[in-house]
């Protein structure tokens, strides 16, 4: 019985760890902030490696750095001028990514909650 439960858990985690290639849209909200900030990502995944770009819209995109998708845990960074954005997301089904964002520059550090959905 325990081995059957373990097998089901392994299969479920493998199903969630789907390829995240495609366009993703959503928002982040800085902790303590009063509004959502739009996000648009164009992701390409090969194996565990994640590349592409992201930003507030199609006209303002920045290259993804250090991108990985390891078992449904999606991590990457973007640098926009003086700000560095570090995303730590988890897949929620095939079409959802949710998690945390750390924003840093020389004088400031903030955290935010992120929610993204794949565009079809």
Q: What is the pLDDT along the chain (120 residues), one digit of tens a residue?
A: 555 554 445 554 444 468 999 999 999 999 988 999 999 999 999 999 999 999 999 999 999 999 999 999 999 999 998 999 999 999 998 899 999 999 999 999 999 999 999 998
Where are the chain's structural domains? 2-118
Q: What does the angle CA 70 – CA 103 – CA 27 come to, to the nearest 5 degrees? A: 75
pTM of the model: 0.84
Contact between residue 16 and residue 39 where contact means Cβ atoms under 8 Å apart: no
Classify domain 2-118 at the CATH class level. mainly beta
């Amino acid at each position: 019985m325990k081995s059957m439960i373990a097998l089901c858990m392994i299969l479920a985690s493998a199903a969630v760890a789907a390829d995240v290639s495609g366009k993703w849209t959503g928002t982040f909200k800085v902790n303590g902030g009063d509004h959502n900030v739009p996000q648009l990502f164009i992701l390409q995944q090969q194996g565990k490696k994640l590349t592409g770009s992201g930003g507030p819209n199609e006209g303002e995109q920045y290259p993804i750095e250090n991108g990985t998708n390891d078992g449904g845990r999606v991590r990457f960074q973007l640098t926009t001028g003086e700000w560095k954005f570090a995303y730590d997301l988890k897949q929620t089904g095939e079409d959802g990514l949710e998690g945390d964002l750390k924003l840093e520059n020389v004088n400031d550090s903030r955290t935010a909650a992120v929610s993204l959905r794949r565009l079809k």
